[in-house]
Each structure stands twice: as C-alpha cells, then as structure tokens.
C-alpha cells in the first residue's frame, strides 16, 4: 500500500440536541495524498470516551448523507443512521466517496483501481486511531463498501468490523445473476464482456445497452474489482465480525450474507425483517424504490439497536 499524507481540517463545529443530550458535529477533511475526503463527525460532548463507528459507502458516488442526486437518490439513509447511532452514544464518521468531490476527478481519470478505495478508508482510520475521545474504532461497510472496509481493516488496528448488505461472491457473478433475472440474452453479453475484460484488460466493442457498466473509463477499476472475492477476504479477519442484511433488499440477497458467514464462521449473522438496501423498513414492495428517493421512510430501529449492542459489548 502506498504511503499517504494525512491532514485534518476542522471546518465547522455546531451543537445540537438529541434526546436531551448535547452533541457536536465537526466537518473534517481527510486527505489521502491529493484525494480529498470531506466528511462529518458527530459525537457526544458530555462523554469523555465513546466508541467510534466509521461508515464506508457503497458503489456509485454516494455523498456522506447517502445521496446521489444525479440519479434521484435522496433517501438520506447514511445521515439518518449517523444521527440514530450518535443518539445511542456511538460517535459516527461519514464521508463523501472520492468521486463526489470535483477536484478529485482529474486524479481519478488518470488512474482508478479498487485498492484506491481501500487506501481512502485506511487514511480515514489513521485519522482517528490516536484520538483519545474514542474508546474503540469500529468500521461498517455498506454494499460495495463491505469489501472495501473488509480489506482496509485487515491492514489496520481496529476493534470490530460490520458488513452491511455486502456481496458474498465476486462482482462478476453478481452482475451476471442480476442481468440474467431481467434479460437472459443480455446476460450472455455481460458474461462475454467480463471474460474479455479479464483476459485483455479492455472491451473492444461494448454493447450500447451495457455502456453504463462497461464504458472504457471503467475498465481499470472493473479489472481490479473482478479479481476480488469477499469470501476469501473475510477469512483473513481475526476480529469480531457482524454480518447484516435485510429481507427487502433488492440489490444484495440474503445468500450473500450467508456466504460471508460461512467463510468466517466466527462471525455473527443477522437478517433484519423488512429492511431494504438503504436501511429503511418497507411494508409494501411498491415502496422499495420510493425509499431511495425520499427521506420520509423509517430507518430500521433493529439495525440501530443491533449495531449499538455489537459495538458496546
């Protein structure tokens, strides 16, 4: 792993009240060399030491709140999760993924591999590892961030790891499975594109219907991602592990969580009833996608209680 410089810029400090307790919110800028990772730390100012939970976001370009406005994703699920955990006495750090900040794009266009995301998380962990305000450092990885966090904590001295809606197989298998469920013929092309990318590092003729996934600027990142198997990575961990998924998740299946658990049987596996991929409780299937677009859906209380108990025990 390349060496990275760490700088912290505390930009904004504000106090607010949750359940009659005073909390502080700090906007913090973490630097991984030239890559800017702005984020928000929330913690209880009345508690001398409390556990810290670092949230690692998933695929695409989610900001620290969990939103991707260009795709209509405005569910605020990471922000809501942060506020709920802080209210439980768990400090929380959430950050903008590297492709959210405009000044990072010129660096990403030059080179972008999966391990870059791992190094970003390592930079965040190193920012807080000697912070006396916190009794422990815990990392939770969501969706693609499950694998990112898994690899980062394997190279860091942290206390506990949580996989939240993380894949339990290599991403090529997931892509083929997802496309096969919608369009079996197109899934064959997906498989062919993946084979070509694995063998040559590029795809000469990309199916226009698959351009969003296989566009040329994505080839370097995808090539590095396709080599990774989460079930092999989680075997390397020797710290307490909690694996969580929801029954209403339409992106990651329960079998993924089960595969991770089987790969590391010392882990704890919990499937939360009615929780979807953006951590909301869904009573009607028709509301699943709507919850991605609106912050009005209820965050899973079981998730919050489960994570609190795991971190504090």
Domains and CATH numbers, the chain: 8-169+229-312 (3.40.50.1820), 171-227 (no CATH)
pLDDT value at residue 10: 36
pLDDT value at residue 23: 81
pLDDT value at residue 5: 40
pLDDT (average), residues 208-232:
96
Whether the predicted pLDDT of 120 surpasses 90:
yes
Higher pLDDT pick, 272 / 20: 272
Whether the predicted pLDDT of 209 surpasses 70:
yes
pLDDT digits over 124-166, tens only? 999 999 999 999 999 999 999 999 999 999 878 899 999 999 9
Whether the predicted pLDDT of 12 surpasses 80:
no
Are 125 and 134 a contacting pair, CB within 8 Å? no
* 163 contact partners, CB below 8 Å, separation of at least 6: 140, 141, 146, 149, 150, 234, 241, 242, 243, 244, 257, 260
11-23: burial string, b at 16+ Cβ within 10 Å, e else: eeeeeeeeeeeeb
pLDDT value at residue 21: 56
Cα 149 to Cα 157: distance, rounded to the nearest angstrom: 13
Are 254 and 169 a contacting pair, CB within 8 Å? no
pTM for this entry? 0.91
Average pLDDT over the chain, rounded to an integer: 92
Residue 59 has a CB neighbour count (10 Å cut-off) of 17
Token representation of residue 261: 């658990």
pLDDT (average), residues 222-246:
97
pLDDT digits over 173-205, tens only? 999 999 999 999 999 999 999 999 999 999 999
pLDDT digits over 95-113, tens only? 999 999 999 999 999 999 9
């Amino acid at each position: 792993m390349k060496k990275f410089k760490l700088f912290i810029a505390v930009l904004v400090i504000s106090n607010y009240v949750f359940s009659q307790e005073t909390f502080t919110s700090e906007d913090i800028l973490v630097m991984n060399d030239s890559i800017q990772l702005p984020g928000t730390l929330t913690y209880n100012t009345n508690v001398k030491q409390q556990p810290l939970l670092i949230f690692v976001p998933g695929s695409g370009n989610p900001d620290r709140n969990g939103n991707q406005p260009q795709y209509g994703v405005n569910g605020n699920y990471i922000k809501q999760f942060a506020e709920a955990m802080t209210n439980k006495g768990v400090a929380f750090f959430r950050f903008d993924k590297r492709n959210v900040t405009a000044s990072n794009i010129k660096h990403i266009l030059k080179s972008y591999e999966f391990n870059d995301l791992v190094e970003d998380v390592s930079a965040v962990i190193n920012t807080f590892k000697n912070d006396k305000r916190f009794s422990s450092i815990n990392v939770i990885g969501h969706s693609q961030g499950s694998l990112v966090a898994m690899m980062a904590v394997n190279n860091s001295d942290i206390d506990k790891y949580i996989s939240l809606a993380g894949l339990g197989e290599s991403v090529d298998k997931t892509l083929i499975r997802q496309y096969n469920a919608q369009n079996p013929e197109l899934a064959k092309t997906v498989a062919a594109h993946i084979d070509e990318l694995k063998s040559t590092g590029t795809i000469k003729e990309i199916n226009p219907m698959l351009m969003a996934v296989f566009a040329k600027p994505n080839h370097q990142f995808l090539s590095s991602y396709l080599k990774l198997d989460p079930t092999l990575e989680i075997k390397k961990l020797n710290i307490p592990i909690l694996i969580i998924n929801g029954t209403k998740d339409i992106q990651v299946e329960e079998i993924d969580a089960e595969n991770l658990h089987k790969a590391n049987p010392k882990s704890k596996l919990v499937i939360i009833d009615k929780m979807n991929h953006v951590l909301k409780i869904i009573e009607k299937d028709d509301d699943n996608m709507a919850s991605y677009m609106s912050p009005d859906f209820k965050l899973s209380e079981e998730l919050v209680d489960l994570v609190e108990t795991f971190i504090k025990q």
